[in-house]
Every structure is written in C-alpha cells, then in structure tokens.
Amino acid sequence: MRKPHFHSYTLPPNYRMKNQVILQHRPRVVPLLKIVEETPTVKSLIFRDELSGHAEPGQFDMIWVPGVDEIPMSLLPSTHGSTVKITVKKRGNGSRGLLQMMKGDLIGVRGPYGKGFTYKNEKKALLIGGGTGTVPLVALLRNIAKRHTQCSFILGAKTRRELLFVDEIKQLAIRTGGEFSITTDDGSRGRKGLATDEAERLIQPSSFDRIYTCGPEPMMKKTVDLAAHAGIPAEAGLERIFKCGSGICGSCCIGPYLVCKDGPVFNSVTLGELSEFGKSMRNASGKAVPIGMP
C-alpha cells in the first residue's frame, strides 16, 4: 500500500505575510506525531503546523476530528521548530474523539484565531491557571520568562492528579525570581482551597504590574475583581462554544463582543462592563444558561 505524503507547510516569509488571512482559514490535514498522557483524565496531542507554531499565547485553532466534530483548542507551540501541543480533557464528542486517537492518526487544523495576551515589558506579573486553562498561560510564561519579568504562578486543581505542567511552571517561575504556588480543593498537594484564596493573599496594591488568568470562569471573575480592587490591570482568557471560530456564526457572543474574534483574551476594563462574565454563557442552542450548566 502506498504511503500517504504530507506537506510540511513551510512557507516563504513574504508569502506568509501577504496571505496570512487566507492561510489561517484554510484547513490543513496533519498527522499526530506523539500522544502524551498528562494525567489520568488529560492527554496532550502533538502535531506539526507552521502557522500554529507561530501562534501568540492565548490564540487557538479549530481542530477537526474526522467524522466527529470540530472544536476550539488552545495552542502550546514548542520553543523550537513548528510542533504544537493541544491538551485535551473529556467534555463533548470532539474531545472524546481526540482522546481516542493514536500516533499517526490525522486531524484537521485551521487558525490560529483570536487575540492573545498582551505584554508590555512588565517587571512583575502574576499568572493564575486552573485545569486545561493552564495551557495558554504556559505559552505566555515561556515567552515573558525570557524578558526579565519576575513571574509568579498560582496553579490550581481539584486534586493533585489533575495538576498540569507542574515541573515546567515551577522551574520557569523560580528562574525569574517569582513565587510558585499550588492549590488543590482536597488538599492533596499544596495549599487546601481555591487558586483565588492564594490570589487574595498575593494581590495587593502595586504587588504586580499585570495579572493574567485562564481556567474556570468563576475563578477568573474573582481574580479580575481582586485585581481591580488592587488597581492592577488584568487579562482573562474566556471559553465559549465556538462553531466557526472566525466571527461568523455568533454563537460565542458576550455582550457586544464575539469571544472567538474580539477575544478570547479580554482585559479587565472590558470584562468589567460585561454583566454575563462569571455568570452566564450560551449553550449549543444559543440559550443563555448559568456558568457550569450544560
């Protein structure tokens, strides 16, 4: 049987610059190079795609699971080359399909889409992540840790078995002179309690130049409120149902904004104007439901 041939998608710089919009919307079929079991419930899938490899922290791809679904996934580009990691936890049909895949299986990718986190040469930054929301924050940490920013990181999970990327986060945070804290709901590792309990201890006026957060929305809402009270600018990476990923279908609307296009990262000023933030979101049918409801 003839072996399939896959394009490497290595593009001349000028061509990439002139045709960026066309290329990001064009689906690319890529093989999975490696599957990593991060926790008993979470796997990372690694593939090679040049456009995705240049994604900004906080951007996402629409990932097509053949015959199943197309879903948004945060991107963790490697520090070299064009390999990219997506980290999957079982939620709907698309994530279940990804978790069943093996090395060599094919997926479709298009993107990267959306607006990522901003960085303005802050001297001290605090990053607060929970669950798979940790993924874009690790991408951000890799970037700003090289720029003489002191980075503190709070990593939260329900239990120690669900903590992600602990070793890398700890190494990078300590290398910059920042603090690294773990919280678990059941106290099985680190401090017992929520990530926001630890955030409340650390966030004081002038303690940081900027705060970044991604994870469960109640956690992000509390973090943004703490930052606002301390007078510190903050950014949060929101999660909504994306059907198109490019601002066409409107299923991810929050207030006057589309999370896939105007976000997924929003600053605390904008978030303070959105009554839905931390309270409600649209389900697959477009109905507004409380956060955490199907």
| Cα–Cα dist 261/60, whole Å | 11
What per-residue confidence (pLDDT) applies to 276?
93
Same domain flag for 258 and 128: yes
Dihedrals phi, psi of 83, to nearest 5 degrees: -80, 150
23 and 86 share one domain:
yes
Structural domain contains residue 6: no
Same-domain pairing of 41 and 22 = yes
- Per-residue pLDDT at 262: 96
The confidence score (pLDDT) of residue 20 equals 63
Residue 91 belongs to some domain of the structure: yes
Say if CB 163 and CB 249 are below 8 A apart: no
3-class secondary structure, 201: helix
CA-based nearest residue to 84, from 139, 162, 155, 4: 139
Cα dihedral sign, 221-150-203-163: positive
| Alpha-carbon dihedral sign for residues 234, 245, 78, 184 | positive
CATH number at residue 105: 2.40.30.10
Domain assignment of residue 225, yes or no: yes
Query: What tokens were used for 90?
Result: 């079982």
Q: Do 154 and 94 share a structural domain?
A: no
Based on the fold, state whether residues 97 and 129 are members of the same structural domain.
no
Residues near 85 by beta carbon (within 8 Å), at least 6 away in sequence: 36, 44, 45, 46, 75, 76, 77, 78, 135
* Domain co-membership, 219 together with 137: yes
Instruction: List per-residue pLDDT tens for the chain, 294 residues long.
Output: 444 554 445 555 555 545 666 778 888 999 999 999 999 999 999 999 999 999 999 999 999 999 999 999 999 999 877 899 999 998 889 999 999 999 999 999 999 999 999 998 899 999 999 999 999 999 999 999 988 899 999 999 999 999 999 999 999 999 999 999 999 999 999 999 999 999 999 999 999 999 999 999 999 999 999 999 999 999 999 999 898 988 888 889 999 999 999 999 999 999 999 999 999 888 888 888 898 754
Residue 9: the pLDDT is: 52
Number of domains into which the chain is organized: 2
pLDDT for position 162: 95
Structural domain for 75, as ranges:
13-113
On whether both 103 and 137 belong to a single domain, the answer is no
Token readout for 146 is 């090289």
Return the CATH number at 199. Answer: 3.40.50.80
Per-position DSSP letters for 248-280, written without gaps between them: SS-TTEETTEEHHHH-BEEEHHHHTT-TTTTTE
* Assigned domain for 25 exists: yes
What was the pLDDT predicted at 43? 97
Q: Specify if 118 maps to a domain.
A: no
User: Does residue 192 share a domain with residue 132?
Assistant: yes
Q: Is residue 150 part of a domain?
A: yes
Whether 101 and 160 map to the same domain: the answer is no
Q: Kindly state the tokens that stand for 206.
A: 């002038």
Q: 50, 110, 45, 113: which is closest to 81 by C-alpha?
A: 50
